[in-house]
Amino acid sequence: MVVIIGRANVGKSTLFNRLVKRRMAIIDEKPGVTRDALYGEVIWDNKVFELVDTGGLDFSSRDTISEKVKERVIYFTKAADLILFLVNAEEGLNPLDKEIAQMVRESGKPYILIATKIDTRKGKENLMDFYSLGLGEYIPISAPHSTNLSKLKDKIVEMAKPPFVFKKEAGIRLAIVGTPNTGKSTLVNAILNEERLIVHEEPGTTRDTIEIPFSWKEQNFILLDTAGIRRRSHVKESLEWVGVKKAEWGIEHSHLTCLVIDISRPLVREDLSLARKVEKLAKGVIVVLNKTDLLSEEEREEAREAVKHELQFLDFAPFILVSAKTGKNITKILDKCVEIHSRLRERIPQKQLNQLVKTLLIRRPPLHATTVYKVIPRDKEPHLFRLITNNTYGIKQTFLRYLSKEIRKYFTLEGVNIKITVEKKR
């Protein structure tokens, strides 16, 4: 594990994005944008290593989130196989840099000192000052212009020992989504059985979509903890808007989506709006009813039925009662993920599908003068179907919902979000 550390706004997230070759971390001029650790893979010289981007350190701040960030950075520093310590050459040496340098020395871990933002005259002039940190030679870089990035990656591969440089197998991509403060990060920490994400009462603590690889019963997962999604009209801060867009991307590009609902309170408009978004974008869906520890057994069942009634359009998904705080039923989520992922990969036999559709059309035909010739599953995504007809206007959404429900029931596809597109026969 290669861990990037440094004070706020030294270019950690920019370097992280350039190394993983994806815009995973949100970049902004405002200090402290990255709060949780971000995970990515870097491929270089036919080797792959895990890269972790951490929040900006500030030893002088005593607010709760800064303290949590510091705890996470210390945790990852201890777990690291190699530390990338970043300093900002444009701003020059900062007293905080000296404190972080002391932490790096005390860790006893291998490290690389990296001077960022060297593409300005001031940046070049300040470089010599960093020798006073007592960490030896530095590598000067400009991440936006890729200056010395190849040299840096060569050095990382040279210093990272073989057991820590490996290619992880692809796994089930599982997105955790919910409105702010529903307990998403607590749920992720419960699944991983360690506190890797910052948990705080302040809504919107998670800004990025965090990708975390892990294994469960020999099954590889890539878990995505997303920013809390609110209705667009309520999203005013630009950082939050970017986080929401990344969360939507996470839903669309995951195999499964866990919609986290706070069952201790009534559903709000944001919950329903997000549930609609999940129904529109997700492939497989699980509804996780969190915070059951705040309710009695009778209240849980009543609340569960009330939520199921409000989310009837997700009636194909399993509804699982959990408590991320106590860990109750957490493993049920993972077992159900494995089941649904297996169903998502199953190829539906065309012959059986033809027979089923024929029966369904007799039971409930489409509108007058409308003929359904065939319903065909797509090759690479069996949950997507093409309906071929002579009259696309005669196929209504209620008819498509009827077909989806019956196909799911016949082929036992619980949790699979079947989508049918209508095409006119050529």
Q: What are the backbone dihedrals phi and psi of residue 134, each rounded to the nearest 5 degrees, phi first? A: 75, 25
Q: Sheet holding 372-377: strands in order across?
A: 372-377, 384-389, 419-424
| Residue 235 reports pLDDT greater than 50 | no
pLDDT tens column, 145-189: 888 999 999 999 889 763 344 444 468 999 999 888 888 888 988
Nearest residue to 416 (alpha-carbon basis) of 305, 339, 350, 309: 339
Cα 318 to Cα 75, 120, 416: the distances in Å are 35, 56, 10
Report d(CA 206, CA 226) in Å as an integer.
Answer: 7
Q: CB–CB of 34/26 below 8 Å?
A: yes
Confidence of residue 31 (pLDDT cuts 50, 70, 90): very low
pLDDT at 289: 97
* Domain residue spans of the chain: 2-164, 172-345, 350-424
Which residues are registered as beta bridge partners of 4?
Answer: 53, 84
* Residue 111, CA atoms < 13 Å, CB-side half-sphere: 27
> Who's near 421: CB < 8 A, 6+ residues apart?
384, 385, 386, 387
Residue 241 pLDDT > 60: no
User: Chain-centre distance of CA 368, in angstroms?
Assistant: 46
The phi and psi torsions of 93 (rounded to 5 degrees) equal: -65, 135
Question: For the segment 344-358, what is each residue's pLDDT rounded down to a tens digit?
Answer: 988 899 999 999 999
Percent of the chain exceeding pLDDT 90 equals 51
pTM of the complete model? 0.64
Positions of E strands within 2-128: 2-5, 38-44, 47-53, 82-88, 111-116
Evaluate if residue 70 carries a pLDDT over 80: yes
Q: Give the pLDDT band (50/70/90) at residue 22.
A: low
Question: pLDDT category, 339, cuts 50, 70, 90?
Answer: very high
**Helices 350-363 & 397-410, crossing angle to 10 degrees?**
130
Class of domain 2-164: alpha beta
Give dist(CA 188, CA 199) in Å, integer.
Answer: 10
- The reply to whether 2-164 and 350-424 are identical in fold is no
CA distance 293 to 278: 26
Contact 69, 47 (CB under 8 A): no
pLDDT at 245: 64
CATH superfamily of 172-345: P-loop containing nucleotide triphosphate hydrolases (3.40.50.300)
Q: How many Å separate Cα 47 from the centre of its chain?
A: 24
How would you list the strands of the sheet with 210-216, edge to edge?
A: 210-216, 219-225, 172-178, 256-262, 284-290, 319-321
Which one is predicted more confidently, 230 or 187?
A: 187
- Split at pLDDT 50, 70, 90, the class of 36 is low
- What's the CA gap between 172 and 220, in Å, rounded? 6
Q: Which residue has the higher pLDDT, 233 or 53?
A: 53
Distance between CA atoms of residues 373 and 151, nearest Å:
60
For residue 302, pLDDT over 60 is answered with: yes
State residue 341's pLDDT score: 95
What would the mean pLDDT of 301-305 be, rounded to a whole number?
A: 94
CATH architecture for segment(s) 350-424: 2-Layer Sandwich (3.30)
What pLDDT does residue 206 have?
45
Q: What share of the chain is helix, strand, coil (3-state, %, to 5)?
A: 40, 25, 35
